[in-house]
Amino acid sequence: VVVLLTHPNIKESRANKALMDAISDMGEVAIYNLYEMRMEDAFNAEIWSTIISHASALVFSVSVLFGCRLLLY
């Protein structure tokens, strides 16, 4: 299972941090925090193609508050 975390400040988060803490020790789960990755890696289609093609499931974890703010602009 691949989890793509897209939260601008996971340390201050409540819900997303709780979710990440709960699943971080699971052996079959790989968490990728896009905000902590280098820009070159976060937007590298070859890397993501390989990662996603080997995953049994893909989970997007998005900050609802942050997403709503983007819609307001």
Given this model, what pLDDT does residue 1 score?
93
Q: pLDDT below 50 — which residues of the chain?
A: 71-73
Given this model, what pLDDT does residue 73 score?
47
The pLDDT tens digits for 58-69 are 998 877 665 555
Measuring CA to CA, which residue among 32, 35, 45, 41 is closest to residue 2? 32
Instruction: Quote the CA–CA distance of 9 and 33 in Å, as a whole number.
Output: 10
- The burial of 3, by beta-carbon neighbours within 10 Å (0-12 exposed, 13-18 middle, 19 or more buried), is given as buried
* pTM of full prediction above 0.85: no
| Number of Cα atoms under 13 Å in the Cβ half of residue 33 | 13
One-letter amino acid of 71: L
